[in-house]
Amino acid sequence: MEASYFDTPRIGLAFSKYLTQISDERLNDFDYIEVPYEALHFEKDLLPRLLVKPLILHCASLSLGGYTPPDDKTLETIKYFTEATGTPWIGEHLSYILADKPDNNHYEPYSHEPYNIGYTVSPVMNQHSVENIITNIKRHETYFGVPVIIENPPLYFKVPESNMTQSEFINSICLQSRTELLLDLTHWYISSRNFSFDPFEEIQKLPLHRVKEIHLSGVSQSADSYWDNHAGRTPEIVFQLLELVLKTITPKAITFEYNWRPELEWAPLKKEIEMVRKMLDAKNVLHVS
C-alpha cells in the first residue's frame, strides 16, 4: 500500500473478530483497518483475511517508555509485519510494558526474566524519560523503516518522580525530535477526569500540528475513576474534542476502537463514521473516490 493513500484523511476501524466476517457492503463504510501486531502474531492466518482493506499496524510491545527493550525475535516479527501489511507508520503507546525486576525481589524464583505486564503503562514523566523515549523511537524507526508515532496513554495514577504534565511531556518529546503523534481523544478525556483538568483548554497546549492519527472509543466509570472502554461507544464530549482539534489540524487517519466485544451494532457505528466524515468534509479535505 502506498503512503499516499493517507494524503487525504481516512476513517478506519481497529481490528476485532467481527471484521473478518462482515459483508462487502459494510466494508465500504470505512477506509482501513488498524491491526495490532500482537493479533497478527498470535493468529497466524489473520493477515490474508484483513488484506481486503489498507492496513495500519498498531503495537503494544515496543515498550518505548521503558528501560528494558523487547527481545530480538519480537522486533524481527514486528518488522516482518511492517513490510507484510505495507503500513505507512506504526502507532505505539507512549508507555512501557516491560521492566526489569528489582534485585531484592523475594517472590519470583526467575528474577532474571523481566516483568511483562501485558498492558501498557504510562511511564515516569520527566526529562530523562523524554530522552529515553526519543532514543527508543529513533532506534525503532531506523530498524522498521517507517515512522513510529506515539499514542498518549490514559492516566490512572500519578507516577512517582514525574515533574511534567502529560502535555508538557509530549511537547518535550516533540520539541527534541521529529516524532509525530497518535492522539487518543478518549485517553485524553479520561486523563482529564482522573487528574481534574479542563480537556478543552489543556489539549490546545499539545503540539497538535504533529498529530497524524486520532483514536476514538468509549469511557466507563467505576471505583471513583474513569477508564478506557473499547466495549462502549464514544461519548459526545470526545466528539466535541475531535471537533475542536479538527479546527486546528487535519489528521491522516481517524480510527474507531471498538474491539473488546466479539460483535458490534453496525448502525450506530455507521452514524458515527458519517458524522466524522461530515466534520472532515466541512474542512473540504475528504478524499472523493
Partner 1 sequence: MSANNAHIQSLIAGAIMDINELPSLKAYLNQKQDVTSADAVLKFSAFICKVKHNFLWESFPLTFKLIHDLKLDIEIFIHFLPDYQKSRKEKGLDTPAKTRLFLDFLISYLANKKQKPFRILYTALQYEMAMRELNDFKDVALPSQRRRRPVSDQTSIRINGKIFIAYLYAETGDIERWRNAPKTIQTTRSLSRVMYWRALPGADIRILKLNKESADILMFLKSGMSISEWIYAGGKKRSTDTVMEMLHFLIENQIVQLY
Judged by the rule CB under 8 A, the positions of this chain that interact with partner 1 are 65-68, 96, 98-102, 104-105, 107-108, 115, 117-119, 121, 123-124, 126-129, 132, 156-161, 220-223, 225, 227, 229, 231-232, 260-262
At 264, which helix (H) or strand (E)? none
* CB closer to partner 1 out of 98 and 181: 98
Identity of residue 175: L
Q: How far is CA 139 from the centre of its chain?
A: 19
- CA angle, residues 172, 235, 185, in degrees to nearest 5: 15
* CB closer to partner 1 out of 85 and 229: 229
CB 253 within 8 A of CB 6: yes
* CB closer to partner 1 out of 122 and 179: 122
* CB closer to partner 1 out of 212 and 215: 215
Cβ 186 to partner 1, closest distance in Å?
14
Strand partners for 183: 214
Cβ 5 to partner 1, closest distance in Å?
31
d(CA 97, CA 195): 22
Cβ 173 to partner 1, closest distance in Å?
15
| Helices and strands in the chain, H and E counts | 10, 12
Q: What is the CA radius of gyration of the chain?
A: 19
Q: Could you give phi then psi for residue 4, rounded to 5 degrees? A: -65, -20
Cβ 70 to partner 1, closest distance in Å?
14
Cβ 190 to partner 1, closest distance in Å?
11
- CA angle, residues 122, 124, 125, in degrees to nearest 5: 95
* CB closer to partner 1 out of 55 and 133: 133
CB 74 within 8 A of CB 38: no
* CB closer to partner 1 out of 83 and 108: 108
Which residues contact residue 155 at a Cβ distance below 8 angstroms, ignoring those fewer than 6 apart? Answer: 122, 166, 190, 191, 194, 195
- CA angle, residues 269, 271, 274, in degrees to nearest 5: 110
* CB closer to partner 1 out of 18 and 143: 18
Cβ 128 to partner 1, closest distance in Å?
4
* CB closer to partner 1 out of 116 and 204: 116
* Short-list 29, 38, 33, CA closest to 49: 33
Cβ 154 to partner 1, closest distance in Å?
10
Cβ 157 to partner 1, closest distance in Å?
4
* Short-list 254, 248, 191, 260, CA closest to 17: 260
